[in-house]
Amino acid sequence: MSSWSANESLSLYNVKRWGAGYFGIADQGDVTVRDPSTGAEVSFAHIRELTREKGLELPILIRFPHILKDRVAQLVKSFARAIEYEDYQGQFTCVYPIKVNQQREVVEGIIAGQRQALNGYTGLEAGSKPELLAVLALAEPGYSTIVCNGYKDEDYIRLALMGEKLGHKVYIVLEKASELNDVLAIAKELDVSPRIGVRARLATVGKGNWQDSGGLKSKFGLSASEILKTIDILKDNQQTQAFQLLHFHLGSQIANIQDIQVGLREAACFYAQLRLMGLPVEVADVGGGLGIDYEGTASRSICSMNYTLDEYAKRVVQAFKEVSIEHDLPQPDIFSESGRAVTAHHAVLVTNVIGIECQEVGSIETPSAACHPLLTRINQNYLDAIDRERSLSEIYHDLISYNQDLNQAFTHGDLSLQDRAKGEQILKATALYLMKTLNPSRRPHREILDELNEQMADKLFANFSLFQSLPDVWGIGQVFPILPLRDLDKAPSRRGVIRDITCDSDGRIDHYVDGEGLETTLPYPPMEVANALLGFFLVGAYQEILGDLHNLFGDTDAANIIFDEDGNARVSVSQRGDTLAKVLQYVNFDPQRLLSALSQQVTEAQLGQDTKTEFLQWLQRSLEDTTYLDQPKI
């Protein structure tokens, strides 16, 4: 046990694989974040001190703007390498779909990264009127590409065309055929030449949690016949020159590069056919689909990916180069809307453990001769395990059977509460002994160990709401890397499962990154609740936006952490989360009316005046408190 090192924890939690060079573990066991461009590094324990000094409380969402910039740079560099290697004639633009995370600090961080990587130019995508307003306000006329997706009414279209008149390059992507007439009419009214794109509904489906966002079952996009009708309308209005962009979307978080390749070939054929019909399509927008490796397994698992950024870029470029050469066509510019790949790494949820329910065994009382016969059999099974009288597999099978018998005997009234408690203690002691004795290198033993680890796992109660901070865990079974932020130079001698503080049995995490795969329990070193911190990584995409108010747990506190010129970390932005008053207003409770009603109850209660005054003052203060639990100053 004493020989355990932080480097072994790196392997155990697979940090090098999913961390993409941004996260590590220091020799003393603290989890760290680093800036790959400068080598600057800081521990999350120190970050917690910095945020505490700003008055921020746990749970807290930590954002790292330098990671946003680096993710943009890595994506752009991958396409630049592919374009150079293939001698491709088109250009690449990284377009950020702000639906992935609309927080202003996040969008501004991505824009800053785009300007560095794209020589001052930016690319943004909007899918609604409020998103388009935000995009137009942040984009710089003359240097911005804006893609407008989603269903559109006249106001949305008018706003997009006004953006074109303001000097932005705005592409209006038709999601349904009926939108075209409105685009042409409003463009004529505003005296502006529209840039029209068409979203083709591909037959190809990228397998995964979001596979229905692509393929024939997709909510969006035009079929082949609808595209032909759209072209006829453009011809009738002498507006074929407006058809400049082909858009398609294979899905989100596509794990298998072969699925991407098949979809790219289909999309490239759409491009070729449109150009051969004389339409001046200049841009192929490949949409989303680029994944990240949440597990670090580099596999086809839905929470992983079996390809790299470089391979993804290479496949995209090759698909359109090959079809263009085959048909002697211009090679189109390429847009990608890779929001998840850009944002996921930059945010980490940090919170404290408020309690640990350990599976411990106290003193075991040997059953007396007068006790229920079932207790004698349960105890003999335990002794057989210690004395190795029978195979450990057989001991385990009897353990399962006796546990069922114990419950049935109690339910039928044949067993007292005291005897049930004695039986449970012996069964638990047997299970813990098996866990120490079974050999994980033997497959039959490994299967039993997996079951015992899950059944006997500690419960770690963490100060957060799964539904607010990690909604995809509950909604689609998404996996996020989770690990303790301290003491990882110590052996992970315990295994646990994480539970949140909501009054909902679904507020739990069932899968954890563990070595080269997933486990149903989290390995962790012994920890003191007063100092225990957990980190939930790769939560920068969708989670902050999709979170809900289950049990009225609101937004957490948040902070942006940057490195200064000397490599020191500091808080650049600090944000308080929702207060009790704010979340009550969300559900139409007026805090002042609520306070008045409680004040009336206090006034009428049989309490001393000092008690009444103190209680009312406390109520007033509590409305400005966080919705989460108070915690030690860690």
Cα–Cα nearest to 482, from 622, 350, 603, 630: 350
Taking CA 367 as the corner, what is the angle to CA 361 and CA 370, rounded to the nearest 5 degrees? 155
Taking CA 436 as the corner, what is the angle to CA 405 and CA 390, rounded to the nearest 5 degrees? 55
Structure-token pair, residue 609: 């005046």
Q: How many helices (H) and strands (E) does the chain have?
A: 22, 23
Peptide bond into 97 cis (omega under 30): no
**Among 94, 303, 371, 503, the one annotated catalytic:** 503
- Please state, in angstroms and rounded to a whole number, the distance separating the CA atoms of residues 256 and 305: 6
Would you say 521 and 497 are in contact if contact means Cβ atoms under 8 Å apart?
A: yes
Contacts of 620 (CB under 8 A, 6+ apart): 595
- Please state, in angstroms and rounded to a whole number, the distance separating the CA atoms of residues 631 and 58: 8
Q: Exposed, middle or buried by CB within 10 Å (0-12, 13-18, 19+), for 474?
A: buried
Taking CA 386 as the corner, what is the angle to CA 385 and CA 390, rounded to the nearest 5 degrees? 35
Would you say 437 and 385 are in contact if contact means Cβ atoms under 8 Å apart?
A: yes
Would you say 364 and 417 are in contact if contact means Cβ atoms under 8 Å apart?
A: no
SS3 363: coil
Question: Dmax of the chain from CA atoms?
Answer: 99
Rg of the chain, C-alpha, whole Å = 29
Contacts of 14 (CB under 8 A, 6+ apart): 295, 296, 297, 481, 513, 514, 515, 516
Would you say 208 and 187 are in contact if contact means Cβ atoms under 8 Å apart?
A: no
Taking CA 318 as the corner, what is the angle to CA 313 and CA 323, rounded to the nearest 5 degrees? 140
Contacts of 185 (CB under 8 A, 6+ apart): none
Chain centroid to Cα 213, Å, comes to 18
Contacts of 502 (CB under 8 A, 6+ apart): 465, 466, 467, 550, 551, 553
503 is a catalytic site residue = yes
Instruction: Tell me 508's DSSP state.
Output: B
Active-site residue set: 503
